[in-house]
Amino acid sequence: MKTLLIILTIIISETIMAQNYDFEQNLYQSYERYKEKSLTHRRFKHSDITPLIKKLKSRDGFTSKVVGKSVEGRKLELIAIGKGKTKIFMWSQMHGDEPTATAALFDIFNFINDPANKEFCKALFDKVTLYFLPMVNPDGAERFRRRNFYDIDLNRDASRLQCPEAVILKNVFDSLSADFGFNLHDQSHRYSVGNSFRTATISFLAPAYNYEKDFNDVRGKAVKLIGSMFQALSQFIPGHIAKYSDDYEQRAFGDNFQKWGTSTILIESGGWKDDPEKQFIRKLNFIALLSAFKSIAEESYLKTSSEIYESIPFNDKYIFDVILRNLTIKSGKEKIKVDVGINLDEFEGPNEKKIYYKSQVDDLGDLSVFYGYIDYDFNGYTIERASVYNDKVFSLKNLEDFDFYKLYSKGYSTILVKKLPDEKFTRLPINLALKNKIDTTINIGESANFVLKKNGKVEYIVINGFLQKVEKNRKFEGNGLVIK
């Protein structure tokens, strides 16, 4: 009898575990079915989500109401569904250029609306009510920048409440007295998990509510729920989950919401190799949030040990966009070996679908403790600054079908043009300038334009941080700079 009981217990507990595992696995496998197809990149605007919210109004169970307007008059809408006692409030994109979770919220709406999940949702909404405030900073999103119209960081306006968007967020928070809060952000894709070479793809935090970083029941619940989400995501991105800095910030929303009694969880979408538009990370947000809703409804998160949270490494900065290693710099008779660390900052083009990059040399020397998204060993190569071709001044019109191969092979990264375009960037695979300005050394803080030579022959060229093998008809994957 006793043996039978043990066997039964094992079978039951394994079934429960398998069920939990299956839930996230199923979400992972079936995600494409729910992905909101109209949101395809990170620079969507308020006008892209308005029709999606409008469509929700005709859906069973959803309500939405306008809770206020941004400085420029864009409407903020609170969407709700469920009739459960436990309230879960989530708000996204208070920083305008941090849209990954906003897109995931619309994927979640599609999941809820899918008849295949009717039973799951019925059970869920008996227990919880979900409240969503997507895109808290639509004016910032319009410009694809962090701050709002007044150039104020809304996440430093939680105490002073000077901006309408901050007032709205605070009012909604006060009106709900939610049990759980999800504060949804994007972080730099250059954060690593501790001092490892792994990108911090998702970072969690149960924000502190005082400078001492104490734990109470409210914060303790957030800690346990993060433990549960950590387990849910680790099967897809093992080693790529970190913890955001837990320093108390008295002007931030998450820290105050924790203080005011809502178990608050920060989710930061970071970086993942070959996912510049963060569409995979969007999928991880979708899984993490649904997994958290389930775990809250079933109260299963209470069983997770808070040690999981404690053991998650903090974010650190061990990642560059590009590292070119073991290059030789020649200076007269002297030779030194260097690694070159380059970062590429992105800018929205006149057309939101395009992004442009501006490169910067951020470090030189021994970078062996760092990792690069693009990371090559150039042992045996020398590096020199690329030059400006000044035998001819080009007209922009003539450059459309120009073969740049010859210029590359002679080490030119920049050409002179009669008139510079208005923009700061060019789709052309070369930099444009009005006059020849040559610096002979490689310096930190400057844009990355180099030639890499082997046995005196140019084999690679770096144009605005983009590495290009010098070969005929090779496509350039990047953009040039307009040097003003």
> Distance (Å, rounded) from C-alpha 247 to C-alpha 352?
35
Give least dist CB 267 to Zn ion, A. 10
Interface with Zn ion by CB under 5 A: which range of 93-101, 108-116, 295-303, 415-423?
A: 93-101
Site for Zn ion in 429-458 (CB under 5 A): none
User: Minimum distance between the CB of residue 384 and Zn ion, rounded to whole angstroms?
Assistant: 40
Least distance from C-beta 184 to Zn ion, angstroms?
Answer: 9
CB burial readout 212-226, b (16+ within 10 A) else e = eeeeeebbebbbbbb
Number of residue whose CB is nearest Zn ion: 185
Nearest approach, Cβ of residue 9 and Zn ion (Å): 45
CB 30 within 8 A of CB 24: no
Q: Torsion angle, CA of 260/262/265/266, rounded to 10 degrees?
A: -40
Q: At closest approach, how far in Å is the CB of 56 from Zn ion?
A: 25
Q: 90: alpha, beta or left, given left = phi > 0 and alpha = psi -120 to 50?
A: beta
Q: Which is nearer to Zn ion, 48 or 186 (CB)?
A: 186
Quick one: which of 389, 161, 170 has its CA closest to 260? 170
Q: Minimum CB separation from Zn ion for residue 95, in Å?
A: 4
Least distance from Zn ion to the Cβ atom of residue 104, Å: 15
Q: Report if residue 98 touches Zn ion, rule: CB under 5 A.
A: yes
C-beta separation of 383 from 357 below 8 A: no
Kindly write out the interface string for residues 20-49 of this chain, putting x where it contacts Zn ion by CB under 5 A and - elsewhere: ------------------------------
Per-residue binder mask for Zn ion (CB under 5 A), 51-70, x = binder: --------------------
Which lies closer to Zn ion via its Cβ, residue 98 or residue 179? 98
Nearer to Zn ion, 42 or 95 (CB): 95
Calculate Rg over the CA atoms of the chain. Answer: 26
DSSP code for 313: P
The window from 90-98, 190-198, 234-242, 402-410 that contacts Zn ion (CB under 5 A) reads: 90-98
From the CB of 185, what's the least distance to Zn ion, in Å?
A: 3
Query: How big is the site for Zn ion, counted in residues (CB under 5 A)?
Result: 3
The nearest distance, CB 376 to Zn ion, in angstroms, is 32
Compute the distance between CA of residue 271 and CA of residue 188 in angstroms, rounded to an integer: 7
The smaller minimum CB distance to Zn ion, of residues 140 and 341, is found at: 140
How far apart, in whole angstroms, are the C-alpha atoms of residue 392 and residue 171?
Answer: 63
CB of 98 to Zn ion, least distance (A): 5
Amino acid identity of 482? V
Stretch that binds Zn ion, among 65-73, 91-99, 376-384, 461-469 (CB under 5 A): 91-99
Pairing of strands 480-483, 431-433: parallel
Sole binder of Zn ion in the list 46, 87, 95, 282 (CB under 5 A) = 95
At CA 74, angle to CA 70 and CA 79, rounded to 5?
Answer: 95
* 96/227 with CB nearer Zn ion: 96
Of 185 and 221, which CB lies nearer to Zn ion in the complex structure? 185
Interacting span for Zn ion (CB under 5 A) from 94-102, 172-180, 191-199, 270-278: 94-102
Selected range binding Zn ion among 62-70, 97-105, 120-128, 277-285, rule: CB under 5 A: 97-105
Cα-based angle 313, 317, 322 (whole degrees, multiple of 5)? 130
Q: Which of residues 171-190 bind Zn ion (CB under 5 A)?
A: 185
- String of b and e for 178-204 (b: at least 16 CB within 10 Å)? bbbbbbbbbbebbbbbeebebbbbbbb
How many whole angstroms separate alpha carbon 309 and alpha carbon 215? 12
One-letter amino acid of 214: D
Chain contacts with Zn ion (rule: CB under 5 A): 95, 98, 185
